[in-house]
């Protein structure tokens, strides 16, 4: 996801004129921290206002609890298996619902069998403050899984919501620096969870620690840290 570098600090109640003035150019997608109030878009929490072309706006902050937002990718842990759906912990105040048919190619006779404690990479299909979030494991653009679904092996770490959003930004250096020297798979959830898998458990833990330590480092400091990992490997 390409994110504009220009951003500013906003406080609860601030009117987001940038988004409001662009309303006639197309449909605006509001992410966490923003709501529609009449003809205006208003901030509901403090943080940095962010924009991704063409018309997606949200507020980035390091809040502790994740609030589900439609369209975001999350890492969830299956907590219960029922006849038609699974209950999944995604770090919100309440568990989310994952229908058994919300997988690529799933039918009533051919459904995935996910045991409790299974890790799944999902997309939030519907989020409402008064209802449980509903998940699916299908890319709505292609109708395919495209990486969504059960995650096997690897290691999941928890980090700040702000770090997760930065890991999805193409301009964040740490993943590119690590990828030049260490092969690994990665799934980033917007809910403060990151899944890693590499050639060995040792490498996986090393990469996880490097990603966590990169949150407040500059690009030069990230380069020095990665070089140190290469020297010790």
Q: What is the pLDDT of residue 34?
A: 86
- Of the candidates 118, 108, 124, the residue with the CA atom closest to the CA atom of residue 191: 124
CATH class (in words) of the domain with range 155-231 = alpha beta
Q: What is the pLDDT of residue 129?
A: 76
pLDDT for 151 equals 95
The pLDDT value given to residue 22:
53
The domain 8-60 is classified under which CATH number: 3.20.20.105, 3.10.105.10, 2.40.50.100, 2.30.30.830?
Answer: 2.40.50.100
Given a contact cutoff of 8 angstroms between Cβ atoms, the answer to whether 82 and 95 are in contact is no
Q: Which residues of 167-197 are buried (b: 16+ CB within 10 A; e: fewer)?
A: beeeebbbbebbeeebebebbbbbbbbbbbb
Q: Is the pLDDT of residue 5 over 60?
A: no
Q: Locate CATH 3.30.1370.10 in the chain.
A: 155-231
Confidence band for 21, pLDDT divided at 50, 70 and 90: low
**Residue 24 reports pLDDT greater than 70:** no
pLDDT of residue 149: 94
Superfamily in which the 72-150 domain is placed by CATH:
Nucleic acid-binding proteins (2.40.50.140)
Give the mean pLDDT of the chain: 87
């Amino acid at each position: 996801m390409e994110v504009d570098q220009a951003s500013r600090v906003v406080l609860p109640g601030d009117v987001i004129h940038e988004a409001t003035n662009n309303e006639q150019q197309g449909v605006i997608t509001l992410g966490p921290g923003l709501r529609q109030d009449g003809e205006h878009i208003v901030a509901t929490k403090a943080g940095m206002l962010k924009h991704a072309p063409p018309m997606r706006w949200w507020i980035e902050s390091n809040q502790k609890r994740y609030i589900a937002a439609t369209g975001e990718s999350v890492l969830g842990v299956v907590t219960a298996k029922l006849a038609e759906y699974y209950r999944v912990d995604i770090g919100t105040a309440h568990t989310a619902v994952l229908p058994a048919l919300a997988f690529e190619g799933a039918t009533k006779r051919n459904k995935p069998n996910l045991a409790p404690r299974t890790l799944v990479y999902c997309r939030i299909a519907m989020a409402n403050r008064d209802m449980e979030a509903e998940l699916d494991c299908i890319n709505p653009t292609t109708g395919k899984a495209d990486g969504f679904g059960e995650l096997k092996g690897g290691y999941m770490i928890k980090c700040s919501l702000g770090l997760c959003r930065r890991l999805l930004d193409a301009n964040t250096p740490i993943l590119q620096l690590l990828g030049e020297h260490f092969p690994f798979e990665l799934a980033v959830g917007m809910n403060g969870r990151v899944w890693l898998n590499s050639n060995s458990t040792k490498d996986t833990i090393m990469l996880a620690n490097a990603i966590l330590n990169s949150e407040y480092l500059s690009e030069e400091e990230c380069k020095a840290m990665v070089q140190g990992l290469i020297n010790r490997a």
